[in-house]
Amino acid sequence: MMKTLLRPVLLYWTISLYFSLITPASAEDTLMPSPPEIAADAWVLMSYQSGQVIAGSNQNQAHAPASLVKIMTSYVVGKELKAGHIHGDDKVVISENAWGQKFPGSSKMFLNVGDEVTVDDLNHGVIISSGNDATVALAEHVAGHTAAFIEMMNREAERLGMQRTYFTTPHGLDSDEQATTAYDMALLTRAFIHDLPEMYGLFKEKSFTFNKIKQGNRNPLLWDTSLNADGVKTGYTKEAGYSLVSSASQDGFRLIAVVLGTKDVNARRNESKKLLTWGFRFYQDLAPNFDKNTLKKAKVWYGSPSNVQVELGDGGVITVPRRQRKSLDHKVFYNSNLEAPVAKGQQVGKVEWYLSDSLITVQPILAAEASEKAPWYKSMIDTVWRPIGRWFNDQEWDHRDDKDAPESTQ
């Protein structure tokens, strides 16, 4: 009798113990990390490797850039150095326009008219000391005059996809038409780190001395031992408020944080640190492996070759919550109306990544080789078969707008 009574009790406690053991882990696996509250007019957190925006607020809202403009100034100068159009040991004669006294009450290198200063020193003066006078000196050396240099800045912004950014100065002092966004600044910083890694190393230098005047780097995160920050740039004007573009890495995972329009120097430091710490705590880069049956060659109509090898954009990396890896799912799409010629690097498809049925990112599938237009006698079979393929695919796919329904899937 006693055994009969004990059996249901034992069963109950066994089941309760089982669920008490598995429930915490299951809850942790499904926990979605909410972004922190950030006291800034606009902000964004981006993974450097994948280019994914992890979190943001007003990230595409126009904002006065202040000295963040100097990131683009240094990028243009760095590209000119890399191309060999100018050299680090070039001597730049300081003009009256680049005279330090032209910039009262703002950051400068304290340049004097007639000084001969190397491009290398001016670079340090812009990146570390945030010298407004140094930006004008470099602009005149690179392009002859500042207006031409600003044209170069805006062309680079357009090439990089900074759609809501427009520069009117090389230094960032307030100007009615000059504007940028948190997202655009993250995009520029990502390009800088990738394209100019050696020059990017200057952003972590803590001080620079010129003409016996020592000036410290204004980025406070460089002194924070809890972060491995190595850049990037502070900015302040009355119109812009206090802003900071920062970047740090942990175990090969690099994040870029942008905060625009905080109330003071402490706020821009604290809000940036808050973003980076949260990102490293809850997110990671992941490089999924696809077998040859999942990531197949892309069919090119009338092409030679008629099927091209493919690869994933951004190195095949996606950025995901650390506790959500098992909930990831994906769909692979190809453009079934791809015609020759196809250039290497051209988008030929996409991978959509889902987390619990929510789309989190879209990876481009790129042609890993070119396909030229085939002679007519080699493409006759495509002339026959392509109309049949079109009959089965009645939805046109446009890789420029991922909201459109793709026409084929694997």
Active site residues: 67, 70, 130
The radius of gyration computed from the CA coordinates of the chain, to the nearest angstrom, equals 27
Nearest CA-CA partner of 301 in 366, 369, 364, 387: 387
Count of CB atoms situated within 10 Å of the CB of 273: 20
DSSP characters for 99-111?
-GGGSTTS-----
What does the alpha-carbon distance between residue 87 and residue 122 come to, in Å, rounded to a whole number? Answer: 12
As beta bridge partners, residue 266 has none
Nearest CA-CA partner of 262 in 66, 49, 19, 31: 66
Structural tokens at position 128: 């570390």
What does the alpha-carbon distance between residue 53 and residue 361 come to, in Å, rounded to a whole number? Answer: 9
Nearest CA-CA partner of 119 in 104, 100, 140: 140
Rounded to 5°, angle at Cα 308 from 307 and 311: 140
Nearest CA-CA partner of 219 in 231, 209, 210: 231
